[in-house]
Structure 1
Amino acid sequence: MSIWDRIGEFISRASASALSGVAGMVEAVRTVFEGDADLRRRVAFSVAMIALSAKMAKADGVVTQDEIRAFREIFDIPPEEAHNVARLYDLAKADVAGFETYARRMAGLCGSGHQNCAMLEDILDGLFHIAKADGMLHEREGRFLQRVAEIFRIGEQHYQSILARHLDLGDADPYVVLGIERGRPFEDVRKHYRTLVAHNHPDRLIARGVPEEFIKIATTRIAAINAAYELIERSARAA
């Protein structure tokens, strides 16, 4: 049984129960898949991405073909399972609960007080990928993403590094991209860089529950990290 079969089965069961909208479904992921941690992570990531991208589209007021294409770059959905994704997407858009409720439930799946849960950054990365697909980040999308980051307890410096990876900010500060203070010894920068590369290795992401398609986005993340480090390294050598 594929992940999409399981999600479809979960949606049908949850819809027939007394759960309150998709936010209730997000919370139910914890208990329904309690016996299979790997499947729980994969379902949680998929449900969060679908639901929050629907809420972001509602906040922005329009869904472009570029955003639909970007969504499909994250998820390789079999044609026979597309109706399950569409059903969850439409449920999320129609749900009276605000996106903040969804984000809080997702943060709760990472455990109480879990600062910067890795999967939450992956979700935010996916939302950025969709939001920027039409060539720009609209003001409402920016406010949406920043608020989600706050709920996910992703600090401002960390958020700015994610933002810098995704957007062309002109002469972007490579230290911001790496999320490390300017003026730190180069050896500290190198250690931090190596930690980032290890943290974002495809095997690590798959272990966190992200779909294999997400690795395409992760390579862009790694490319930005590498470019920032190389720029700092060249400056250090020239000093």
Structure 2
Amino acid sequence: MSLWQKIAAFLGSFSEGTGLAGGLASIFDVDNWLPGGRDAAFTMSIVALSAKMAVADGVVSRREVKTFHKLVDIPEGADKHLDNFFALAQQDTAGFDTYARKVRRLFADSPATLEHVLDALFEIATADGIVHGDEMAYLEAVSEIFGFDAVRFEQIASQHVLLPTGNRDPYAVLGLAPDVTDEELRRSYRRLVAEHHPDRMVAKGVPEELMGLASAKMASINTAYREISQARGRIPALASSEAT
């Protein structure tokens, strides 16, 4: 039985008030999904975190839900099941910290994966054009649970703040100061590629549903490196496997 078939079965038993899915606390308990594999447990945690991100400011917009669909690769025909899960997660009384800690536990060996999750939550938060105070507090709390310090959180946050031009600060995307040397720029770029390249994520066991996030992260890294290099009069050296 596939992950999404299991989701459909859980939803059916939930609606009938029977089985494991008879309670929200059970349906979103990652430990109950682990027998189906880490992918299933991780996907359910991401659904719960994203749903609670969307409701953090008290209002869930359709744009926020659509942003989630854009970020996570949902198999054809599974949209309805995901939407139902998303709605249930918003109603769940369990704190978001429960899911955040379980996501960290599942990917304690891959900080880059946890960063991708935080990136996704930021994208949902900014879907309506502004990050509300409650949403920022939520993001800070999740970041802390994931093990990122305040400096790292500010760096990640700056990657999602648009400049007046409508673009992101390329130096912020790479986590660099504008006065960085060319050599430091290249070294930082190579390190980020090594951390976030989709092939590396696959090797780390990142679920297939998050490959879109990994690709988007690499695209932003490549774009930032290209913009800085060209502004400095350089031709950026991008390997074919790293180009967007």
1:69 paired residue number? 66
Partner of 1:27: 31
Query: Which secondary structure does the structure 2 equivalent of 1:166 belong to?
Result: coil
Shift of 1:182: 5.8
Pairing partner for 2:226 from 223, 230, 234: 230
Alignment match, 2:148: 154
The C-alpha deviation readout for 1:159-208, integer Å capped at 9, x for no partner, is: 23332332204486543321245655432321220121232222233443
Q: Which residue of 2 aligns with 1:56?
A: 53
The answer to whether the 8 A contact 1:165-1:221 is kept is no
Pick the aligned partner of 2:133 from 126, 139, 157: 139
* Cα distance, 1:220 vs structure 2: 3.6
Separation (CA, whole Å) in 2 of partners of 1:43 and 1:127: 19
Unaligned 5+ segments in structure 1 are 34-38
**Partner residue of 1:102 out of 95, 99, 102:** 99
CA displacement at 1:100 relative to structure 2: 1.6
Greater shift, 193-202 or 85-94, is seen at 85-94
- Other-structure match for 2:242: none
In the alignment, the residues of structure 2 paired with residue 77 and residue 104 of structure 1 have an alpha-carbon distance, to the nearest angstrom, of 27
Single out whichever of 87-96 and 54-63 deviates more from structure 2: 87-96
**Is it true that 1:165 corresponds to 2:159 in the alignment?**
yes
State the Cα deviation string for residues 72-124 of structure 1 (Å, max 9, x = none). Answer: 22232443x4454344333322222211222122212234xx5x623212211
TM-score, structure 1 normalization: 0.75
**1:69 Cα deviation (Å)?**
1.6
Deviation at 1:47, TM superposition (A): 0.9
- Structure with more of its chain in helix, by fraction: 1
Aligned to 1:4: 4
Q: CA deviation at 1:152?
A: 0.6
Comparing 144-153 and 120-129, the one that deviates more: 120-129
Pair 1:235–1:224, CA change in 2 (3 A): same
| Secondary structure of 1:145's aligned partner | helix
Q: Which structure is higher in RCO with an 8 Å CA cutoff and minimum separation 6?
A: 1
Percentage of identical aligned residues: 38
Q: CA RMSD in A?
A: 3.1
1:193 aligns with 2:197: no
TM-score normalised per structure 2: 0.74
Tell whether 2:128 aligns with 1:128: no
Cα distance in 2 for residues equivalent to 1:173 and 1:143: 23
2:16 matched residue in structure 1? none
Residues in 2 aligned to 1:85 and 1:63: alpha-carbon distance in whole angstroms? 15
State the number of aligned residues: 224
Unpaired runs of at least 5, structure 2: 14-18, 235-244
Distance 1:59 1:185 in 2: 40
In 2, the alpha carbon distance for the partners of 1:215 and 1:102 equals: 20
Counterpart amino acid of 1:26? V
| Distance across 1 between alignment mates of 2:114 and 2:27 | 18
How far does residue 149 in structure 1 lie from its aligned partner after superposition? Answer: 0.8
